[in-house]
């Protein structure tokens, strides 16, 4: 790409229609102005203007053609009220924004627009990319990344193999199996004719999008390869590009810390069930968290709890075995350093125990939901089980057994009414719910 030109200069130089200019001629420079004079650019759709200005659709032409870019431009995702406010645009440091989505302009559903990295990390990442090529402060990000040795290997590859992702900072790729990487390619939603394990149908730009997303934040990839529609505890993927993703809206778990006891018991019960599904499932993958906080879990309007942020989730293939990155330091490049320091180290997959998720949740989340909420002796039993499952020194079977006992305690504390629409009215007729 060429060095950055202001929208006015670009329009005059190329003579392109203003609408086309708005969508595609903006370069990967990260110093673009927020708007253009109305004399040259007609009134733009406010939803797309929001995505362009705050979410980075103008970062790179690589976003053009993605599902999320199309949804913004076609007004399937609406955010007009943000720009209509007398306060102007919302603060650009926010990590998430509420919106509404429709694919028929009749039924609108709440969605979340999530930044995959913060505004500060964006700026640091951009500088690192430019510096890696000894470029000025502002450079064509796409041009620099295309020239890297890693991407050149991707261009020649017919299949995504472990050596192509070695050195990337994502927990998902710490010790990937070929079966897992084939699933990534086969289910990648931003290409035409998805379904093959080979990348013959990927354009150069498709490969760069996938590599960049894996390097920045693997959350959108996990939503695609383990969809909620197949029973995985993840929200519906509606699209992503570069540094943001749109998915079904949820309320963060911390908003329920003061919920009524029956609701707290229900959420805690669901959370333990989610951990069970991550440890034991039909596909024989073991999902683990590198760290946990309440913002990583969310609750839908129907009361159903899901993983809201999967960026800290790693995957170990128990069926095929995983090829842990060896000599990862030798494979580090600019893609390894986009969101963290190049010295950041992930734990060895051999060091991940079956109880890791449980210990983290029993230490950090469940006490905030359950402590001091119930009468004795029920509260005493809950506190004992929390202490047992949150003790990192205990053997795996003891911690898992304590979690099972905690579920048995919580089950009768849940009530059956319309607040829990995800299991109501089934819970009136079947003890399973």
Residues 325-342 as b/e (b if ≥16 CB within 10 A, e otherwise) read beebeebbebbbbbbeee
Neighbour count for residue 417 (Cβ, 10 Å): 12
pLDDT at 308: 92
CA-closest candidate to residue 357, choices 332, 328, 392: 392
Q: Which residues pair with 313 in a beta bridge?
A: 289
> What is the distance of C-alpha 244 from the center of its chain?
8
Three-class SS state of 234: coil
pLDDT at 179: 96
CA-closest candidate to residue 49, choices 16, 26, 15, 17: 26
The HSE-up count of residue 333 (CA atoms within 13 Å, CB side) is 18
Quote the pTM value: 0.82
Query: d(Cα 224, Cα 219) in Å, to the nearest integer?
Result: 9
CA torsion, ordered 190, 153, 336, 170, to nearest 10 deg: 50
Query: d(Cα 140, Cα 26) in Å, to the nearest integer?
Result: 11
Query: d(Cα 206, Cα 96) in Å, to the nearest integer?
Result: 26
pLDDT at 339: 76
pLDDT at 217: 87
pLDDT at 23: 26
The HSE-up count of residue 96 (CA atoms within 13 Å, CB side) is 17
Residues of the chain with pLDDT below 70 are 1-65, 73, 79-93, 119-120, 137, 242, 322-330, 341-344
- pLDDT tens per residue, range 309-319: 999 999 999 99
pLDDT at 239: 86
Neighbour count for residue 54 (Cβ, 10 Å): 22
pLDDT at 76: 79
- pLDDT tens per residue, range 378-404: 999 999 999 999 999 999 999 999 999
End-to-end CA distance of the chain: 56
Three-class SS state of 259: coil
Query: d(Cα 55, Cα 257) in Å, to the nearest integer?
Result: 31
* Structure-block tokens of residue 48: 């797309």
pLDDT at 6: 37
The DSSP annotation for 155-199 comes to: HH-SB--HHHHTT---GGGSS--HHHHHHHHHT-TTSTT---SB-
């Amino acid at each position: 790409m060429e060095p950055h030109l202001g929208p006015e200069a670009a329009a005059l130089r190329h003579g392109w229609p203003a609408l086309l200019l708005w969508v595609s001629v903006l370069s990967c420079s990260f110093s673009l102005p927020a708007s253009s004079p109305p004399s040259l650019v007609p009134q733009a759709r406010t939803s797309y203007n929001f995505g362009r200005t705050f979410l980075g659709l103008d970062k790179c032409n690589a976003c053009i053609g993605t599902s999320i870019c199309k949804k913004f431009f076609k007004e399937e995702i609406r955010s007009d009220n943000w720009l209509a406010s007398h306060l102007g645009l919302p603060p650009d440091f926010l990590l998430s924004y509420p919106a509404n989505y429709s694919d028929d302009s009749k039924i609108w559903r709440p969605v979340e627009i999530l930044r995959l990295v913060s505004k500060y990390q964006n700026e640091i990442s951009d500088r690192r990319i430019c510096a890696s090529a000894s470029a000025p402060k502002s450079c064509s990000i796409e041009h620099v990344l295309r020239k890297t040795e890693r991407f050149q290997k991707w261009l020649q590859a017919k299949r995504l193999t472990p050596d192509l992702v070695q050195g990337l900072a994502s927990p998902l790729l710490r010790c990937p199996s070929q079966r897992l990487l084939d699933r990534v390619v086969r289910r990648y939603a931003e290409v035409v004719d998805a379904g093959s394990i080979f990348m013959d149908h990927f354009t150069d730009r498709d490969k760069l999008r996938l590599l960049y997303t894996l390097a920045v934040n693997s959350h959108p990839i996990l939503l695609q390869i383990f969809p909620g529609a197949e029973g995985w505890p993840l929200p519906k993927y509606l699209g992503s590009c570069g540094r943001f993703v749109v998915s079904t809206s949820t309320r963060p778990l911390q908003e329920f810390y003061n919920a009524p006891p029956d609701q707290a018991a229900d959420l805690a019960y669901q959370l333990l069930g989610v951990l069970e599904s991550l440890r034991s499932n039909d596909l024989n993958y073991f999902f683990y968290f590198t760290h946990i906080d309440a913002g990583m879990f969310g609750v839908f309007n129907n009361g159903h709890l899901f993983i809201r942020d999967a960026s800290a989730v790693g995957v170990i293939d128990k069926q095929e075995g995983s090829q842990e990155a060896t000599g990862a330091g030798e494979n580090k490049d600019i893609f390894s350093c986009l969101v963290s320091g190049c010295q950041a180290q992930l734990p060895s997959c051999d060091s991940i125990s079956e109880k890791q998720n449980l210990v983290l949740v029993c230490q950090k989340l469940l006490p905030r939901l359950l402590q001091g909420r119930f009468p004795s002796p029920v509260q005493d039993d809950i506190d004992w089980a929390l202490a047992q499952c949150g003790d990192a020194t205990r053997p795996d079977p003891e911690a898992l057994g304590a979690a099972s006992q905690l579920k048995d305690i919580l089950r009768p504390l849940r009530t059956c009414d319309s607040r829990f629409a995800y299991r109501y009215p089934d819970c009136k007729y079947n003890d399973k719910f």
